[in-house]
Chains A and B, each alone.
Chain A
Amino acid sequence: MSFSDKIRTIYQEQLNAISEAGIFKKERFIHSRQAADIEVEYPEGAGLKKVINMCANNYLGLSSHPEVIQAAHEGLDSRGYGMSSVRFICGTQDIHRELEARMTEFLGTEDTILFPSCMDANAGVFEAILTDQDVMISDRLVHASIVDGIRLCSAMHDTFKHSNMDHLESKLQLHSDKRLKVVITDGVFSMDGDCAKLDEMVALCEKYDAMLFVDDSHSTGFIGKTGRGTHEKFGVLGKIDIITTTFGKALGGASGGCVSGRKEIVERCRQKARPYLFSNTIAPVVVSGVLKVLDILSGNTERRDKLERNSDYWRKGLTNAGFVLKEGDTPIVPVMLFNAKLSQDVSNDLYNEGIYAIGFFFPVVAKGQARIRTQISAGHEIHHLDKALEAFNKIGKKYDILGRSKQEIIEMYGL
């Protein structure tokens, strides 16, 4: 069948609608390694511009770490490039199982299973472990990949208001007749940078005989005293039944993810999770890199400590400048602008000042909640943060939003 004019017109109209709504995403091409200092081509065809990256998930600054690169080279040499098979046919190497064991030890769980990505882990896990006799109760701000996983599962689904423990408890009571109950949350919420109240959630789950699921993608490697994640921060190591996380952010930033938790859950995924069964697992070169990342993190807490110091410095700098921030204590620091166009204008002006930070607006965040999401890295030095603060100050003055309240900014620019 040819791609007829009729078909083409339908797609063109859809794409035009995205453009007209002002939400057409344009990619910026990075010509260097991922790091605090990058070289960017934007718009397409423009000359390269050196900018400071303030929006990567490269929390520990390990994306281009020389030891990780070296380990990846060695993995490539010793285990080859690809597996050309799914895990259960002939796609499992010794290093895959080694990484699973190392993640189990790192996260303090019973067992771990790798997935091609955390998106795949979240898409596959619920269907693998639940049936229509069960219920999933999720925080209303969980990541899109969890929403997709929930959609693929036949269990009943309900939600609770963001981080509202009274509301969660009422839902656990409402669904007390269900065979299995799973409470679902992000560990750190990616758009707001706040943490789930895991200590209270564990208590509620114990009280109502429910399992607890945590996606710790924006936490593994740096939240908690030794970087184990939000369960370490809240003193509930060993009490989270299902953790999903990614290797695509702090842990080297390449790709891949996993489900880690109770051994029966992990085995159920190995037998039933469709993204695991019907897709190649993580390439050996990436596995080798992640193993080195775990070596680096197990040696000392230097990088997560530096990240914590950098995040404090950045948050204080923006607060002193007079920006409205989302409260929190993670490396995700959202600068609230409320108006979608303002978030795009500020982002563009920052770029011209040599600062790469992206504006987010509806539907990525709620209407009237547009923002610049800044993300701090252990790869940042104080001079990076000072230069970025200088640029934020300059642009903040230009739009006269420094020292203004949420209400005042909304009155000036609308929602």
Chain B
Amino acid sequence: MSEEMKDIVLEYVIEEYLEDEDEEISYDTPLISGGIVDSFSMVSLKRFLENRYNISIPDDLATPEAFDTVTKITVLVDGFLK
């Protein structure tokens, strides 16, 4: 799994979802279960990944569990790139 992808996803999540600049998150911060990303707003993350990596993530795989941390997201995306 590329570290570069982790950084790209982390940067997107910070830019897209955090309101407070002081708030810090890491690769393994729970995003959805931690209340940072609500399930309503998850769609933009999914669309970002699909556009950025030219993949299509089926809705049944785009679950709150699979999207809960940056690490889990990159594992999911990696699976489509192989």
Question: Which A residues form the contact surface with B (CB < 8 A)?
Answer: 140, 147, 150, 156-159, 161-162, 171, 174-175
Contacts and interface: CB of A to CB of B under 8 A. Distances in A.
Listed residue (B41, B48, B51) with the most chain A CB atoms within 10 angstroms of its CB? B41
B44 A174 contact: yes
Contacts of A150: 40
6 contacts: A157-B40, A162-B19, A174-B47, A174-B48, A174-B51, A175-B47
A140 B44 contact: no
B57 interface: no
A159 B41 contact: yes
A156 B39 CA distance: 12
B55 interface: no
B43 interface: yes
User: What's the dominant secondary structure at chain A's contact region?
Assistant: mixed
Contacts of A171: 44
B40 A156 contact: no
Contacts of A157: 40, 43
A150 B51 CA distance: 24
Contacts of A140: 41
A37 B64 CA distance: 49
A159 B40 contact: yes
B41 A156 contact: no
A157 B43 CA distance: 7
A150 B43 CA distance: 14
A135 to B, nearest CB: 9
Nearest to A167: B16
A257 B41 CA distance: 28
A191 B75 CA distance: 40
A83 B47 CA distance: 48
Contacts of B41: 140, 158-159
B53 to A, nearest CB: 15
Contacts of B40: 147, 150, 157-159
B19 A158 contact: no
Contact of B43 (A147, A156, A161): A156
Contacts of B47: 158, 174-175
Nearest to A367: B35
A184 to B, nearest CB: 12
Interface in B1-36: 19
Nearest to A174: B47
Contacts of A161: 19
Contacts of A158: 40-41, 43-44, 47
A140 B41 CA distance: 9
B74 to A, nearest CB: 20
Contacts of A175: 47
A55 B40 CA distance: 31
Nearest to B51: A174
A158 B40 CA distance: 6
A159 B51 CA distance: 18
B34 to A, nearest CB: 12
